[in-house]
Amino acid sequence: QTISLINLAGTDHEYCAPVAMGSCKLQSKVDRAYDICFIICFPVSIIVIAVLCGLAVLALLALVDARGRLEDLEAGQVQKSCENAGWLAYDDTCYYAPNDVRGTYEESVAVCETLGAWLAYPRTLIEYVILDTIQSGIRAEETAFTYTGLRFNATSGAWEGREGDHTNYTDFLSNLWDADEPTDPARFPCAIMHRYANYAVNRLHDFSCGESYFLICAKLAL
């Protein structure tokens, strides 16, 4: 049975907390609160960490699966061709990644449009792996930031692709962002691909649209 006592200072209550049969130790109200908080908070924090780790593993497995499907696609399907040299054909799309061209988002869009293409962006996990493969194969250095065609629409609150593509990509992108990204899409409405040295794949970051970065163009294959 718990017995309430008044300490000699008269400023706090102490409780007799059972520790063994027939014995107990005095605990202050603050200590008691700490014990209760630990009992409740510790299991909750473990559950939260486990859920976050599980989501991260699922995202990685999805990317690995997409890479595997891309390899199966390349091995078992006759690839379409691209009419211009320097373009890479994957499935029904041709990609072009000039290594000597950089520009702002708007400039990158304009460059691709002059080539009859659009600024590439991931519409599926397989296409994300394709862009990751192109980006990593040509631009291995850590500083190789590359624009995607994704742009944050402050009015709708959604990440959208090129003009004419009315798909809301917000949910799809949730597993492709780097940790703590996007930080502030209203201020940084462009999405770039970037890989640190210890990363297995490129991750997305929200950035200013006025910086000069690399680009990848895409258009339908023949």
User: Confidence class of residue 7 from pLDDT cuts 50, 70 and 90?
Assistant: very low
Look at residue 127 and tell me whether its pLDDT is greater than 50: yes
Q: In angstroms, what CA-CA distances link 195 with 133, 165, 192, 204?
A: 11, 27, 10, 9
Look at residue 81 and tell me whether its pLDDT is greater than 70: yes
Please tell me which residue, 194 or 182, carries the higher pLDDT value. 182
Question: What does the H/E/C string look like for the chain?
Answer: CCCEEECCCCCCEEEEEEEECCEEEEEEHHHHHHHHHHHHHHHHHHHHHHHHHHHHHHHHHHHHHHHHHHHHHHHHCCCCCCCCCCCEEECCEEEECCCCCCECHHHHHHHHHHCCCEECCCCCHHHHHHHHHHHHHHCCCCCCCEEEEEEEECCCCEEECCCCCCCCCHHHHCCCECCCCCCCCCCCCEEEEECCCCCCCCEEEEECCCCCEECCEEEECC
| pTM of the model as a whole | 0.65
Look at residue 200 and tell me whether its pLDDT is greater than 90: no
User: Confidence class of residue 133 from pLDDT cuts 50, 70 and 90?
Assistant: confident
Look at residue 90 and tell me whether its pLDDT is greater than 90: no
144-167 confidence digits (pLDDT tens): 789 999 999 999 999 999 888 889
User: Confidence class of residue 121 from pLDDT cuts 50, 70 and 90?
Assistant: very high
